Structure 1
C-alpha cells in the first residue's frame, strides 16, 4: 500500500517561538472537503478542518524546533529538523513524503519538494492546517504570559505593533536572538 505523507511548516518568519511542522497521511476512504493552503482559510475554517483531519487521517504528527535551536543552527536547518521530527513521529511509516517548498530534509524514504504544494496536494494542505492551528494556539498561550507584546494579534511576525512592543519592552525569553530586529533591541541599536 502506498502511504504518502504531506509535510509543511509554519513560523519561519516570526521573531518569536518555535517553527512548527506537521506530517499527515490522509485516509483515501475518508475524504476531507475544503482542504487548502492554511493561509487561504479563515481561522474558524482552519480550526474546523484541523479537528476533522485529526479525526479522519490515517495518522498525523507535529514536529518543532524551539527558538534556541533556531538561534543555534539557523531557521532553515531548524525547519528541516522539525520536519524530520514530524515524519519520525508518524505512527505509520510513509512510502513517500511530499514537502511544501523547494527543499527536502534528509529522510529515510523518498521525498519530493513541491513549491506551492500546500495549495496543490491535499496531504500537504492538511499538514499546513495542523501546523498553523498548533502554532497559533501557542501564540495565544504566549500572549497570556506576555500580554504586552500582543502575540495573539500578530502571531510573532515582525509587524509594526510587534516591533514597537519589542523596542518598548525588550525581548522575552522566546524571542529568536539571531533575528535582526531582536538583535538590534538586545544590542540597544
Structure 2
C-alpha cells in the first residue's frame, strides 16, 4: 500500500480530513527521529485546509504557519505553490472556504483517486468512510476489498465508491446502495441455506 499516494490523491480530490489518515499512518510508521518532516507538513496543511473550511480560523492559521516550516524540506512532493497558498491562508484563515489549495504532485505527477490501484483506492474509500462516519462507504469498501482479494479488480464496489468520493452525487450513492443491498441479500440467502 502506498500511503503517500493515497493521501495525496485524497488531498487533491478535496478530501482534506481523510487525507490525514494515510499520511499520519505513514508518518507514525517511521521510527521516531527518522520521521519525514515533509509528510508532517502535508499532514498539517491538509488539516489547516479542513479547519478553514469548517470555520476554525485560529486552528487553520496556526496549522498553516506550522506546515510551512515542515514543508520547506520536501523533495519528493512539489510544494512551492502550496507554500505560497499556506502563507496566504495564515494571513487570511477564511481562504479555504473561498478557494481550493493548489494540487500536490509526487515526483512531478498530480495523483487523483482514479490513478490508484484497486487496493489503494479501497484504502482511500476506507479513510473517507472513517472520517465521515459513513456506514454505506464502510460496507462498500469491505465488499470491494473482498472482491479484489478474489481477483475481481473491476468490482462495481471499487468503481462506484471511488466515483462517489471523487464527486459525491446522489445518483452514484444510490447505485452504490443498490449494489450493497443486493450483496447483503445474496449473503443472507446463502446463510439461510445452511
- Bigger strand share: 1
Q: TM-score, normalised by structure 2?
A: 0.32
Q: Which has the higher contact order (CA 8 A, sep 6+)?
A: 1
Report the TM-score when normalising by structure 1.
Answer: 0.32
Quick check: which has more Rg, 1 or 2? 2
